[in-house]
Structure 1
Amino acid sequence: MKYHLFGNGKVTFGVIVLGFFVLLAIFGGLFLDIFGLNPRANDISAISQPPSAQHLLGTTQFGQDVLAQVVEGARGSMFVGFLAATIGTAIAIVVGVPSGYFNGITGHSLNFLTNLFLVMPVLPLIFVIAGYLQGTGLVMIAIIIGVFGWAGGARTLRAQAMSVSSRDFVQAMRMLGESHRRVIFTEVMPHLYGWIASMFLGGLIGAVMAEAGLAFLGVSDSTAISWGTMIQSAQQQSAVLRGLWWWLIPPGLCIALVGTAASLINFGVDELANPKMRSASRALVKRTSAARRAALATEAK
C-alpha cells in the first residue's frame, strides 16, 4: 500500500497550522492595514486593558495592541526561522554530502570542519556574537543562528551519503565514468530529500526558539517586533506579577504552535523516508484495530 504524506492526520494538522502562520507572516501587513491596527501605536486611554471588543487580545502597559504585535511578530519570528533554517540546511548539504561521498583529503577536510563546529560551544558563541552585533536587526540574527546551527545536520547527511555512495548503482555510475557532480545530484541527493526536509523543519523550530531566547536575554534589536521581543518586553514590565497574562501568553502560544506543527510534519516526513518506521506505524495500527475488534466482540457476547 502506497504511503501518502498528507493522509496522515498529524501531518495534515501540522501543515494547516504552519501554513496559517506562514500566511500570517506574508499577509500580516495587509491585515493590519485593513483593520487599521498599528503595533507601535500607543493608546493612552487603554493602558493594560484585558481582551475586549476594541482590543481582541488586550493592550500592553504602553497601550499597544497585543493582537497587532502578535501579527507583526509573526513576520519577524517566521522570517528569522525560515532564513536561519535555509542557511543552516544549505551549509549542511554543501559540507555534509561531499564529505560522505568523497574519500581522501576532501572528505576528511570537510569532516574535520564539521567536527570543529560540533565541539564549539554554539549557544555561548551565538550570545557573544549577537551581543557584539546588537542592533543589526533580524537578518543578522538569522544569519548567526544559521551559520552556527548546521553541524549536526551535516554529520547526519555525511553518514547517509556514505551509505548511499557504497551501493551498487552508485558504484556502477562511477565505473561508467560519470562526473562526480552528476552522480551526487542524480543518484545520491534524491535519497537524502527526506533527511533534508526533516533537517529544515528542525532548523526552523530551533531558529524561532533561539531568536526568542536571544530577545528574552536582551541580545536582539530592540526596535524590531517579534514574538521573542514581545516576551522580553512583558518580562521587563513584570507582566506575570501584574496579572497581564494576555501580554505574555499569545506570543508564547504562537511559538509553541509553530514548534508543534513543524514537529508533526517532521514525524510524517520521517515515516515517509524511513520504511522501518512506516512499517512499525502500520503494525501498531493493526494491533490497535485488532484489540479494539476483540474488545467489541467480548462486549457483544
Structure 2
Amino acid sequence: MKTTFLSHPKVRFGLVVVGFFVGLAVFGPWLTGTVLGIDPRANDISAIAAPPSSEHWLGTTQFGQDVLAQLIAGARGSMFVGVLAALIGTVLAIVFGVTAGFFGGRTDHILNFVTNLFMVMPVLPLIFIVSGYLQGTGLWMIAIIIGVFGWAGGARTLRAQTLSVRNRDFVLAMRMLGESNPRLIGAEVLPHLGGWIASMFLSAMIGAILAEAGLAFLGISDSGAISWGSMIQAAQSQSAVLRGLWWWFVPPGLCIALIGTAAAMLNFGVDELSNPKLRSATRRVVRRTRRVERAVAADARTA
C-alpha cells in the first residue's frame, strides 16, 4: 500500500508536535489571560520560588512569576523567531541557489561568490556582534539577523540540485516550446525541489530557535521579551540549578528539545517519501522486522 504524506508515522508525529506549539503561540495570550487568568509578568510575592502546586501548576520563579504562563508566552516568542528566521533564510537560499544553478554563467559566478562569502564568514561570532550592537531591538531584529546569516548552506544545496534538474528532458522540452525562464523555475524546477526546501525550512526553524535561546542565554537579547531562551537565561542568572529550582529551567528546555525532535522526524519523513531509495530501504526493514517477529512468535508457540 502506498504511503501518503499524512499517513507517514514520523510526519504525523512531527506535524502534531509542531502544530501544538504553533497553536500555543497563536492562542497563548488567550490561554494565559482568559483561561488561566495569569499575567506572565505579574509577581506573586506570596509564592516566591514555589514548587509546582494546584495554584501554580509548574511552580513560580524567584520573582514570583508563574512558570506555566511564561512557558506559554515564551512559545510565541521562540516560534516567532524560528518561523521568521527560517522564512527569511529559505527565501534567500532559493533566490541565490536556484537562480545561480538555473542561469549559470556570469549570474552563477556572481551569486556563487556571494554565497561562498557568507559560508566562510564566522556566522556565530557575527551574530553575537551584530546582536550586541542592536541589543534591545526585540525579537524581530533577532530573527532577521539569524535569517540573513543562515542561508548560505541551503543555497549551495539548492544550486547543486538545480544544476541537475535544469538539464533533465522535461525542462529542456519546455524550454524548446518557448516557456519563459520564470515559468520554468516556478512550474518545473521548484516543484522538484520541494522536499529539499521543506527539509531546509524545518532545519532552519529549529536552528533559529536554538540560536535565539543561545543569544538570550548569553544576555544578547531583548530583556523585555519572553521566550524559552530568556526563561533559561533568567534561571541561570538566579542560580536555579544550584538552588534546585528545576521547574524553572526544565520546562523550556524540554520544549526546545521536543520541537527539535519533531522537526527531525518531519525531515526524516519527508526524506523517506521523496527519496525512492530510502523508501524502499524502509520497506525492506519493515518486512524483515515482521519476519523476525513471526519467527520468534512461532518459536515461542512450539516451545
Cα distance in 2 for residues equivalent to 1:223 and 1:59: 18
**Structure 1 segment 135-174 matched on structure 2, within 5 A:** 135-174=136-175
Q: Which runs of 5+ in 1 are unaligned?
A: none
**Letter in structure 2 aligned against 1:268:** G
User: What's the offset of the Cα at 1:8?
Assistant: 2.0
Counterpart for residue 274 of structure 1:
275
3-state SS in 1 of match to 2:107: helix
**Letter in structure 1 aligned against 2:198:** A
Cα distance in 1 for residues equivalent to 2:125 and 2:192: 35
Q: Is the aligned partner of 1:19 residue 2:16?
A: no
User: What's the offset of the Cα at 1:10?
Assistant: 2.1
User: What's the offset of the Cα at 1:295?
Assistant: 2.0
Q: Is the aligned partner of 1:58 residue 2:59?
A: yes
Q: Over residues 161-215 of structure 1, what are the superposed CA-to-partner deviations in whole Å (9 max), with x where a residue is unaligned?
A: 1111111111122222221111111111110011111101001100000000000
User: What's the offset of the Cα at 1:90?
Assistant: 0.5
**Letter in structure 1 aligned against 2:10:** K
Q: Is the aligned partner of 1:9 residue 2:9?
A: yes
The answer on whether the counterparts of 1:81 and 1:205 sit within 8 Å (CA) in structure 2 is: yes
Q: Percent identity?
A: 69
Cα distance in 1 for residues equivalent to 2:115 and 2:194: 20
Size of the aligned set, in residue pairs, is 301
User: What's the offset of the Cα at 1:132?
Assistant: 0.7
User: What's the offset of the Cα at 1:298?
Assistant: 2.5
**Letter in structure 2 aligned against 1:193:** G
Cα distance in 2 for residues equivalent to 1:133 and 1:255: 25
Cα distance in 2 for residues equivalent to 1:114 and 1:174: 27
3-state SS in 2 of match to 1:6: coil
**Letter in structure 2 aligned against 1:14:** G
Q: Which runs of 5+ in 2 are unaligned?
A: none
RMSD: 1.0
User: What's the offset of the Cα at 1:133?
Assistant: 0.4
User: What's the offset of the Cα at 1:293?
Assistant: 1.6
User: What's the offset of the Cα at 1:2?
Assistant: 2.4
Counterpart for residue 227 of structure 2:
226
TM-score scaled by structure 1? 0.98
The answer on whether the counterparts of 1:195 and 1:273 sit within 8 Å (CA) in structure 2 is: no
Counterpart for residue 129 of structure 2:
128
TM-score scaled by structure 2? 0.97
User: What's the offset of the Cα at 1:299?
Assistant: 2.6
**Structure 1 segment 178-217 matched on structure 2, within 5 A:** 178-217=179-218
